[in-house]
Amino acid sequence: MKELKAKVEIKFKPGVLDPQGKAILSALHNLGYGEVEDARVGKLIELKLKDKSKEEATRRIEEMCKKLLANPVIEDFIIRFEE
C-alpha cells in the first residue's frame, strides 16, 4: 500500500473568540488592506502515513485529533488527502 499524505485543518468553532485573528485583522487594516472583513487563524498539520487505506487512516486521524491534535471543545477539524 502506498504512502498517504493527509492535511488536517484545525480551526476554532464559529463563535469562539480568536484574538490572534483579531490582531491580524487590525494589523492588515493599519497596513491599508481595508477590504479584509475578517481573519481567523487555525492550524494546518500535514501527516505522512504508511500502510493504511484512506478509510482506516481517516478513522485513525480522527482519533489523533480528539486525543492530541485538536481541542474538540472549541475546535473543529477537517481531514483531506493529497495524491
* Residues forming the site for its own copies (CB under 8 A): 3, 9-11, 21, 24, 27-28, 31, 33, 35-52, 57, 60, 64, 67-69
27-56 as b/e: b if 16+ CB within 10 A:
eeeeeeeeeeeebeebeebeeebeebeeee
The minimum distance between CB 17 and its own copies, in angstroms, equals 15
Q: Which is nearer to its own copies, 3 or 83 (CB)?
A: 3
Question: Residue 78 pairs with which residues in a beta bridge?
Answer: 9
Question: Which of 80, 42, 82 has the alpha carbon at shortest distance from 61?
Answer: 80
Q: Which is nearer to its own copies, 41 or 71 (CB)?
A: 41
The minimum distance between CB 56 and its own copies, in angstroms, equals 9
